[in-house]
Every structure is written in C-alpha cells, then in structure tokens.
Amino acid sequence: MAVPTNTRLSYNTASGGPDRAPGIREDLSNIIYNIAPEETPFMSGVGRSTCDNTYFEWQIDTLDGGNDNRQIEGDDANVLQAVEPARVGNYTQISTKAVQSSGTAEAVDFAGRKSTQAYQMAKRAKELKLDMESMLLELATAPAAGDSTTARTTGSVGAWITSNVTVGTVVDEDDIRDNMEQCWKAGAKPTVLMCDGVVKQAISALSQSVSELRTAANNKSPAFVVAAVDIYVSDFGNLQIVPNRLMPAETAYLLDYEYWDIAYLRPFMTYDLARTGDSMSQLLVVEYGLRSKNEEANGKITGWAPAP
C-alpha cells in the first residue's frame, strides 16, 4: 500500500542527521559497554606487602637432610659447617598513567558519565593493573637498578624460577609430571598451573576421555559436553589450571601463591598536576616490586608450542 500524500514521516535525511527528521532527539544510552578483559589472576592470588627502599631484601633457607647419617658408638660429635640463610633482593619499578581534560570537556554533558576526567582515570587504573600483571609474569626480566636515563626493573616471575625448570617442545603431560616431581623433591607444593589460552586448550586436549557427552539421570535436563581440564591430579598434588591472557606464550608456571607477594614502596596514588592553562591533568602512579619468598617453591615449563 502507498503512503497517503502529505503524511508526516520520521525519515528525513536532508536535515537532522542520518535517517532522522529535524527535532527528533537522539537515543543514546547512558550505559557504556566495555568488553575488554581486566582480570589479573596472579596479582589477585598472591600476597601484598610493603617495602622501604627501591632495593628490598629478604632471606631464604633450606634443609640439608636425607644423608647417610650413621655414627660410631662413642665417637666425637661431627660438627658440620653451619649454613646461614641466603640474602636475596629485588628492585621496585614505577608505573604510571595520566589523563588531561580541557575545562570544556568537563563542563559539557557526556552520555554515560558525569565527569569525563573521572571516567578516563577509572579506565587508566584498570589498564595500569593489566600492565603490572603482564610485566610481573614476563619470562626473563631480570632485576635492574636503572639510572637517570633508564627505568628501574623488578625481576619477573619467569626470571626468579630457576630451580624447577622443564624445557618441552609441545604441550605434554610428561612435562607436567616431570616438573611436579622436581617441585616435590625440593619440598614444594604448587597448587596452580598458570598458562595462556592456547596452552590451556592444549592441556584440555591431552585426555580424550575428558570429552564425553553427559546427561542427567532423569533425562529431563539438557545434555552437555565436558571438554576441559580444570584440575590436574598428579602423584604429587593437585593443580588448578588457571588461564591468564597476559601469560608469556608457550609457557606454564606451577605456582604456590604463598611464596610470592607484591611489595609496594608507594601504593596506588593519584596526583593533581599543576595547571598550565584551561585544562586539568592527573597522574596515577604506583611503585612496587615482586618478592619471590623462595623460588624453589615453584616450577616453570617452557617451549610448549601447541601440537600441530
């Protein structure tokens, strides 16, 4: 059917914007949808402490047991050289995010937020935590003192773990067993295997028996497929498989969260920077370092390229 002559329609592309007649208000939601990931499993799992210097230290120790200790009756005591705790340390590093908004940007009415400056600062805070998670998990970043032209660097998880190391080629269950045995012999009890999404899927694919169709006993609930490994049960303890988008590729860390913490020289702080004109500027800053309380409590698997 044809539209009667002179009927008013909402369509008028000549003015008023695309497909909108003059005077029709925009329909813009006051909700801002953001799907970007913001999880930081490592930082969320480990402890938090403080430090009082850019280089902070702690002590680690071990036991010399399991030796042939049979003595002759009546013999003099065999006094061994005492082994003192080892002294280790790490540097703090500084991470920042800054936002600057004009006076006009703060005055106008933005959809979904009262203050564009506050909204952007909230985003920067989440981004800063993602930056921290990524740097802390790096594979080979050694501690560095820095200088007037080079930033200080805190030693990363991958650089700290040097004792219980397995070098693989593809994701292999034997590598997990080998690394867990190394940890167990050292007295360690890791409870988390952290990896990226590619390695996580490869671990789930190791056991074909995991992928099976299951139905409820009453046959009323919908059937579902289990095709993932979330807990790995080994001879030396259970590992929770934790995927982390910010993990180094082809790598897995076997972690005991109890033996890590993040030491803050300066916790998260926001500073208002001096105005130089018709704008406001704020700086979000944090200064922190990674404390590996004893690296032998953890394991590392590298070279885990996904199977072709």
Q: What string of pLDDT tens digits covers the 308 residues of the chain?
A: 777 776 666 665 444 455 555 565 565 555 556 556 678 999 999 999 999 999 999 998 888 777 787 788 888 877 777 778 899 999 999 999 998 888 787 777 666 566 788 888 888 999 999 999 999 999 999 999 999 999 999 999 999 999 999 999 999 999 999 999 999 999 999 999 999 999 999 998 886 544 454 445 555 666 555 667 789 999 999 999 999 999 999 999 999 999 999 999 999 999 999 988 988 898 999 999 999 999 999 999 999 987 66
Nearest to 199 by CA among 130, 254, 260: 254
* 133 assigned to some structural domain: yes
Do the domain assignments include residue 155? yes
In a domain, residue 230? The reply is yes
Pairing of strands 165-167, 299-302: parallel
Q: Which amino acid is at 282?
A: Q
Whether 197 maps to a domain, the answer reads yes
* Within-domain flag for 70: no
What pLDDT sits at residue 16? 47
CATH number at residue 143: 3.30.2400.10
The answer to whether 300 and 193 have CB atoms below 8 angstroms apart is no
Pair 156, 216: CB distance under 8 Å: no
Q: What is the pLDDT at residue 211?
A: 44
CB atoms within 10 A of CB 157: 26
Beta pairing, strands 260-273 & 47-50: parallel
- Whether residue 77 is contained in a domain is answered as no
Q: How many domains are contained in the chain?
A: 1
Q: Confirm whether 233 is domain-assigned.
A: yes
Q: How far apart are CA 189 and CA 182, in angstroms?
A: 10
Asked if residue 26 is part of any domain, the answer here is no
Task: Residue 159: give the domain boundaries.
Answer: 41-60+86-302
In this structure, the dihedral spanned by the alpha carbons of residues 38, 40, 45 and 50, taken in order and rounded to 10 degrees, is -110
Q: Is the pTM of this model over 0.85?
A: no
Give the per-residue pLDDT at 32: 54
For the chain, give the DSSP string. -PPPTT---S--TTSSSTT--TTPPP---S----------HHHHHSEEEE-SSSEEEEEE-----S------TTPPP-PPPPPPPEEEEEE-EEEEEEEEEEHHHHHS--TT-S-HHHHHHHHHHHHHHHHHHHHHT-SS---B---SSS--BPPPHHHH--SSEEE-SB--HHHHHHHHHHHHHTT----EEEE-HHHHHHHHTT-GGG-EEE--TTS-SPPEEE----EEEETTEEEEEEE-TTSPTT-EEEE-GGGEEEEEEEEEEEEEEPP-SSEEEEEEEEEEEEEES-GGG-EEEE--BPP-
